[in-house]
Homo-oligomer: A and B are copies of this chain.
Amino acid sequence: MDANFREKLTTPVVERVLIIGMGLIGSSIARAVKARGVVGELIACDHSTGVCARVRELEIADDVTNDASAAAARADVIIFAAPVGANEQLAREIGAHIRPGAIVSDTGSVKGDVIAAIEPHLPGGVHLVPAHPVAGTEYSGPDAGFATLFNNRWCILTPPAGTDETAIATMRSFWEALGSNIEIMSAEHHDLVLAITSHVPHLIAYNIVGTADDLEAVTQSEVIKFSAGGFRDFTRIAASDPTMWRDVFLHNKAAVLEMLGRFTEDLIALQRQIRHNDGDGLFELFTRTRAIRRSIIEQGQETAAPDFGRQDHDVKLQE
């Protein structure tokens, strides 16, 4: 963690922020803004009364409500942090209550469809600055969040052409205050980039875990027992929140199908190399992919520590 992140701000970036949806991401934002003094007042909203009660217990927001419209009327920045499939209904419900000059943002893993769902319901003078913090774990719910989740991670902003520059600058400052690095791109490009770096990886992880579960020749108990050979890592990704991911695939359909097509084409070529004993072709690919891993570690998106499913690596043996 860099030193900057540890210091508390002296002046808040935004006066009053409303987060709608207090799962892993929403509750992590709440913890981070509170820890750093990024906002004057934080209002947390969730449609579940159980989640609201838990957020009150956790004391990670100044105010907790399940009345999104009333809260929206008071906020300077409104962040949609529910699964992306909920956005349209939510925007329809609260849109008319949002004050002119307020900023509407979100945290969705999909951007084109999110803009299409929210923008039509916003009154004139409300600024839409969609955001995607590229961070997360396989856990969900308000207890899963933590304040450092966004630190040294990328947050992509995809403001539609013509968006107010001050509104963009505010959201940039907001995410920078949470420790994130900012990238600005079009929603369309975002959806393509994330299809390959996130959506298709999740899809194939879900798929292979499903395939293994369906086999007759290999029992489920064998799959679990011998998962340390690689399968284990896929199950982690395939344990991510089902609602969130269903919505991602339904709302980024075109880009996912495009990237999945490329993946399948390449996989069929690889299958052919195996069938024809093309060891050199396999070796060439396996060497090339190793170099990419190295770049990811060098750029701090991953630690170099070996991962083998437990943390007793350093336990010393008694001599």
Contacts and interface: CB of A to CB of B under 8 A. Distances in A.
Interface of A: 1, 5-8, 35-36, 85, 109, 134-139, 144, 146-149, 151-154, 156, 183, 189, 192-194, 196-215, 217-218, 220, 222-240, 242-243, 245-247, 249-250, 253, 256-257, 259-260, 262-264, 266-268, 270-271, 274-275, 277, 279, 282-283, 285-290, 292-296, 299-303, 305-313, 315, 317-319
B274 A249 contact: yes
B154 A286 contact: no
Contacts of A277: 250, 253
B292 A213 contact: yes
A295 B227 CA distance: 11
Number of this chain's copies in the complex: 2
Contacts of A148: 312-313, 315, 317
Contact of A207 (B6, B85, B259, B266): B266
A222 to B, nearest CB: 5
Contacts of A250: 274, 277, 279, 282
Contacts of A224: 292, 295-296, 299, 301
Contact of A306 (B8, B144, B233, B306): B144
Contact of A230 (B202, B214, B295): B202
Nearest to A222: B193
B239 A218 contact: no
A231 B196 contact: yes
Nearest to A203: B270
Contacts of A285: 206-207, 210
Given A198-B230, A267-B264, A286-B206, A310 B303 contact: yes
Contact of A204 (B6, B183, B197, B204): B204
A313 B147 CA distance: 9
Contacts of A315: 1, 148
A183 B198 CA distance: 36
A289 B154 contact: no
A289 B228 contact: no
Contacts of A203: 267, 270
Contacts of A233: 201, 233, 236-237
A317 B217 contact: no
B1 A302 contact: no
Nearest to A238: B289
Contacts of A286: 206, 238, 240, 242, 245-246
